[in-house]
């Protein structure tokens, strides 16, 4: 089973854009969100 960016976002209760930013290291993301 493939895990998608949307799956990770739903599990972390954040937007898919936030997951993408954390994975790619783009834009500042609050530590509390990144560590969720």
Domain that holds residue 11: 5-34
Tokens 């994975």 locate to 23
The tally of domains found in the chain comes to: 1
pLDDT tens, the chain, 36 aa long:
899 999 999 998 999 998 898 888 877 766 666 565
Give the model's pLDDT for residue 18: 87
- Beta-strand ranges (E) seen in 1-36 are none
- With a CB cutoff of 8 Å and minimum separation 6, the contacts of 19 are 5, 8, 9, 12
Write down the residue that tokens 């739903």 correspond to.
10
């Amino acid at each position: 089973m493939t895990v998608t960016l949307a799956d990770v976002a739903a599990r972390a209760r954040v937007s898919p854009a936030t997951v993408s930013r954390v994975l790619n290291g783009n834009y500042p993301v609050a530590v509390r969100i990144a560590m969720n």
